[in-house]
Structure 1
Amino acid sequence: MGISTANLLLFLLLSSVKGDILDDYLRTDGVWILTRNKEFYSTNNEKECAEKCDAEINFNCRGFLFTKKKLQCLTLAENTKTTVVFHSEDAVLYEKKIYLLQCKRGIGKDYRGTEAKTWRGIPCQKWAEKSPHNPNFTPEKHPRAELEENYCRNPDGDVRGPWCYTTDPATRFDYCNIPECEGQVMQTGEDPTVECMECNGEDYHGNVSRTESGLECQRWDAQEPHMHGYTLKHFPGKDLKMNYCRNPDGELRPWCFTMSPTKRWEYCNIPRCTMHPPASGLGSQCISGNGDDYRGRIAITASGNTCQHWNLQFPHKHGWIPDRYPCKNLEENYCRNPDGEKMPWCYTTNATARWEYCTIPSCDGKEPDTPAVDQPEQAQATEECYQGNGVSYRGTASFTITGKKCQAWNSMSPHRHNKTSEHFPNADLRQNYCRNPDADSRPWCYTTDPSVRWEYCNLKRCNGNVQMTLPKPPQTTLEPNPDCIHSNGIDYRGTVARTARGRTCQEWSSQTPHKHDYFTPRTHPKSGLEKNYCRNPDGDVNGPWCYTTDPRKAWEYCDIPKCPPTQYECGKAKTRPKLCAQRIVAGCISHPHSWPWQISLRTSYGLHFCGGTLIDPQWVLTASHCLEKSSRPSSYKVYLGLHEERALETSVQKRDVEKLFKEPHRADIALLKLRSPAIITDQVIPVCLPKENAVLGGREECYVTGWGDTKGTPGEGYLKETGFPVIENKICNRPEFLNGRVKKHELCAGNIHGGTDTCQGDSGGPLVCLDQDRFVQHGVTSWGLGCAQPMKPGVYVRVSNYIPWIKSIMENN
Structure 2
Amino acid sequence: MGASKDIFVLLLFLCSVQGDILDNYVRTDGAWILGQKPQFYRTLSRQECAEKCEAETKFICRSFLFATKEQQCVTLADNSKTTVMFRKSDVALFEKRIYLLECRTGNGEDYRGTESKTQNNIPCQKWAERSPHIPNYSPDTHPNAGLEENYCRNPDNDEKGPWCYTTDRGTRFDYCNIPECEETCMHCSGENYQGKISETESGIECQAWASQEPHSHGYDPLKFPEKNLKKNYCRNPDGEPRPWCFTTSVIKRWEYCNIPRCSTPPPTAGPGRQCLVDNGEDYRGTVAVTVSGAVCQSWSAQEPHKHSRTPENYPCKGLDENYCRNPDGETSPWCYTTSPNKRWEYCNIPKCLDSAVTTEIVPVVFPEQAATVEDCYQGTGVNYRGTMSSTITGKKCQAWRSMSPQRHNKTPSTFPQADLRSNYCRNPDGDKAPWCYTTDPSTRWEFCNLHKCTDQEQQQPQTTMTPNLGMTSLPNADCKTGNGKDYRGKIAQTASGKTCQEWSSQSLHIFTPRTHPNSGLERNYCRNPDGDINGPWCYTTDPLKTWEYCDIPNCPSPEYECGKAKFDPHRCFGRIVGGCVSKPHSWPWQISLRTRFNLHFCGGTLISPQWVLTATHCLERSRNPAAYKVVLGLHKERATEVSVQNRNVEKMFKEPSGADMALLKLDSPVEITNQVIPACLPLVNTMVADRAECYVTGWGETKGTGGDGVLKETGFPVIENKVCNRPEFLNGRVRTTELCAGNIDGGTDSCQGDSGGPLVCEEQGKYILQGVTSWGLGCAQPMKPGVYVRVSRYIPWIERIMSENP
TM-score between both structures, scaled by the size of structure 1: 0.57
Which has the greater radius of gyration? 1
Residue 535 of structure 1 aligns with which residue?
A: none
Does the residue aligned with 1:199 lie in a helix, a strand or coil?
A: coil
1:779-790 superposed matches below 5 A: 779-790=771-782
Shift of 1:620: 0.4
Shift of 1:662: 0.6
1:806 aligns with 2:798: yes
* Alpha-carbon spacing, 1:670–1:397, altered in 2? closer, same or farther (3 Å): closer
Of 689, 710, 721, the match for 2:713: 721
Of 402, 418, 429, the match for 1:438: 429
Shift of 1:313: 9.4
Residue 237 of structure 2 aligns with which residue?
A: 248
1:747 aligns with 2:739: yes
Of 346, 357, 369, the match for 1:355: 346
* Alpha-carbon spacing, 1:236–1:367, altered in 2? closer, same or farther (3 Å): closer
Does the residue aligned with 2:803 lie in a helix, a strand or coil?
A: helix
Asked whether the 8 Å contact 1:346–1:356 carries over to 2, the reply is yes
Does the residue aligned with 1:634 lie in a helix, a strand or coil?
A: helix
Residue 582 of structure 2 aligns with which residue?
A: 590
1:416-565 superposed matches below 5 A: 416=406, 418-421=408-411, 424=414, 429-440=420-431, 444-446=435-437, 453-455=446-448
Does the residue aligned with 1:629 lie in a helix, a strand or coil?
A: coil
* Alpha-carbon spacing, 1:679–1:632, altered in 2? closer, same or farther (3 Å): same
Does the residue aligned with 1:237 lie in a helix, a strand or coil?
A: helix
Residue 207 of structure 2 aligns with which residue?
A: 218
Farther-moved stretch of structure 1 (472-481 vs 323-332): 472-481
- Following the alignment from structure 1 to structure 2, what is the Cα–Cα distance between the partners of residues 721 and 783? 18
* Alpha-carbon spacing, 1:223–1:578, altered in 2? closer, same or farther (3 Å): same
Does the residue aligned with 2:227 lie in a helix, a strand or coil?
A: coil
- Following the alignment from structure 1 to structure 2, what is the Cα–Cα distance between the partners of residues 810 and 460? 36
Over residues 241-285 of structure 1, what are the superposed CA-to-partner deviations in whole Å (9 max), with x where a residue is unaligned?
222221111112211111111111111233334554132234464
Residue 238 of structure 1 aligns with which residue?
A: 227
1:795 aligns with 2:787: yes
- Following the alignment from structure 1 to structure 2, what is the Cα–Cα distance between the partners of residues 223 and 480? 40
Asked whether the 8 Å contact 2:393–2:449 carries over to 1, the reply is no
Amino acid at match of 2:198: S
Does the residue aligned with 2:236 lie in a helix, a strand or coil?
A: coil
Shift of 1:236: 1.0
- Following the alignment from structure 2 to structure 1, what is the Cα–Cα distance between the partners of residues 628 and 412? 58
Residue 369 of structure 1 aligns with which residue?
A: 358
- Following the alignment from structure 2 to structure 1, what is the Cα–Cα distance between the partners of residues 462 and 774? 31
Shift of 1:293: 3.5
- Following the alignment from structure 1 to structure 2, what is the Cα–Cα distance between the partners of residues 456 and 613? 25
Does the residue aligned with 2:225 lie in a helix, a strand or coil?
A: coil
Shift of 1:437: 3.5
- Following the alignment from structure 1 to structure 2, what is the Cα–Cα distance between the partners of residues 436 and 288? 26
Residue 625 of structure 2 aligns with which residue?
A: 633
Shift of 1:784: 0.6
Residue 689 of structure 1 aligns with which residue?
A: 681
Residue 200 of structure 1 aligns with which residue?
A: 189
Farther-moved stretch of structure 1 (758-767 vs 279-288): 279-288
1:265 aligns with 2:265: no
- Following the alignment from structure 1 to structure 2, what is the Cα–Cα distance between the partners of residues 657 and 399? 37
Asked whether the 8 Å contact 2:289–2:347 carries over to 1, the reply is no
- Following the alignment from structure 1 to structure 2, what is the Cα–Cα distance between the partners of residues 248 and 352? 24
* Alpha-carbon spacing, 1:381–1:567, altered in 2? closer, same or farther (3 Å): closer
Identical-pair percentage: 60
1:655-666 superposed matches below 5 A: 655-666=647-658
Of 320, 330, 333, the match for 1:331: 320
1:645-660 superposed matches below 5 A: 645-660=637-652
Asked whether the 8 Å contact 2:385–2:419 carries over to 1, the reply is no
Shift of 1:421: 3.3
Over residues 431-461 of structure 1, what are the superposed CA-to-partner deviations in whole Å (9 max), with x where a residue is unaligned?
2245444244776534679998123978999
* Alpha-carbon spacing, 1:620–1:310, altered in 2? closer, same or farther (3 Å): farther
Asked whether the 8 Å contact 2:390–2:764 carries over to 1, the reply is no
For structure 1, list consecutive stretches of 5 or more residues without a partner in the other structure: 1-192, 462-471, 482-565
Residue 33 of structure 2 aligns with which residue?
A: none
Residue 8 of structure 2 aligns with which residue?
A: none
Farther-moved stretch of structure 1 (420-429 vs 270-279): 420-429
Shift of 1:233: 1.0
Asked whether the 8 Å contact 2:465–2:559 carries over to 1, the reply is no
Residue 22 of structure 2 aligns with which residue?
A: none
Shift of 1:205: 2.4
* Alpha-carbon spacing, 1:217–1:457, altered in 2? closer, same or farther (3 Å): closer
Over residues 726-758 of structure 1, what are the superposed CA-to-partner deviations in whole Å (9 max), with x where a residue is unaligned?
111111111111111111111111111111000
Amino acid at match of 1:454: F
- Following the alignment from structure 1 to structure 2, what is the Cα–Cα distance between the partners of residues 677 and 390? 38
Over residues 683-715 of structure 1, what are the superposed CA-to-partner deviations in whole Å (9 max), with x where a residue is unaligned?
111111011111111121010001111111101
- Following the alignment from structure 2 to structure 1, what is the Cα–Cα distance between the partners of residues 734 and 659? 12
- Following the alignment from structure 1 to structure 2, what is the Cα–Cα distance between the partners of residues 473 and 598? 25
* Alpha-carbon spacing, 1:321–1:431, altered in 2? closer, same or farther (3 Å): farther
Residue 601 of structure 2 aligns with which residue?
A: 609
Asked whether the 8 Å contact 1:474–1:575 carries over to 2, the reply is no
- Following the alignment from structure 2 to structure 1, what is the Cα–Cα distance between the partners of residues 604 and 303? 40
1:277 aligns with 2:270: no
Amino acid at match of 1:764: G
Shift of 1:209: 2.0
Residue 772 of structure 1 aligns with which residue?
A: 764
Residue 730 of structure 1 aligns with which residue?
A: 722
Amino acid at match of 2:194: H
For structure 2, list consecutive stretches of 5 or more residues without a partner in the other structure: 1-181, 468-557
- Following the alignment from structure 1 to structure 2, what is the Cα–Cα distance between the partners of residues 581 and 317? 33
1:55-70 superposed matches below 5 A: none
Residue 546 of structure 2 aligns with which residue?
A: none
Does the residue aligned with 2:211 lie in a helix, a strand or coil?
A: coil
* Alpha-carbon spacing, 1:204–1:480, altered in 2? closer, same or farther (3 Å): closer
Does the residue aligned with 2:448 lie in a helix, a strand or coil?
A: strand
Farther-moved stretch of structure 1 (260-269 vs 283-292): 283-292
Shift of 1:771: 0.9
* Alpha-carbon spacing, 1:381–1:447, altered in 2? closer, same or farther (3 Å): farther
Residue 177 of structure 1 aligns with which residue?
A: none
Over residues 571-616 of structure 1, what are the superposed CA-to-partner deviations in whole Å (9 max), with x where a residue is unaligned?
1111111111122111011001111100011112111111000001
Shift of 1:202: 1.6
Shift of 1:477: 6.0
Does the residue aligned with 2:799 lie in a helix, a strand or coil?
A: helix
- Following the alignment from structure 1 to structure 2, what is the Cα–Cα distance between the partners of residues 760 and 575? 27
The alignment covers a number of residue pairs equal to 523
Over residues 340-362 of structure 1, what are the superposed CA-to-partner deviations in whole Å (9 max), with x where a residue is unaligned?
45776678999999425634548
Amino acid at match of 1:809: I
Does the residue aligned with 1:453 lie in a helix, a strand or coil?
A: strand
Shift of 1:286: 7.0
- Following the alignment from structure 1 to structure 2, what is the Cα–Cα distance between the partners of residues 802 and 602? 25
* Alpha-carbon spacing, 1:390–1:297, altered in 2? closer, same or farther (3 Å): farther
Residue 217 of structure 2 aligns with which residue?
A: 228
Asked whether the 8 Å contact 2:239–2:329 carries over to 1, the reply is no
Shift of 1:221: 1.5
- Following the alignment from structure 1 to structure 2, what is the Cα–Cα distance between the partners of residues 288 and 692? 39
- Following the alignment from structure 2 to structure 1, what is the Cα–Cα distance between the partners of residues 641 and 462? 7
Does the residue aligned with 1:810 lie in a helix, a strand or coil?
A: helix
- Following the alignment from structure 1 to structure 2, what is the Cα–Cα distance between the partners of residues 261 and 277? 36
* Alpha-carbon spacing, 1:271–1:669, altered in 2? closer, same or farther (3 Å): same
- Following the alignment from structure 2 to structure 1, what is the Cα–Cα distance between the partners of residues 757 and 286? 45
- Following the alignment from structure 1 to structure 2, what is the Cα–Cα distance between the partners of residues 271 and 687? 48
Farther-moved stretch of structure 1 (369-378 vs 213-222): 369-378
Does the residue aligned with 2:794 lie in a helix, a strand or coil?
A: helix
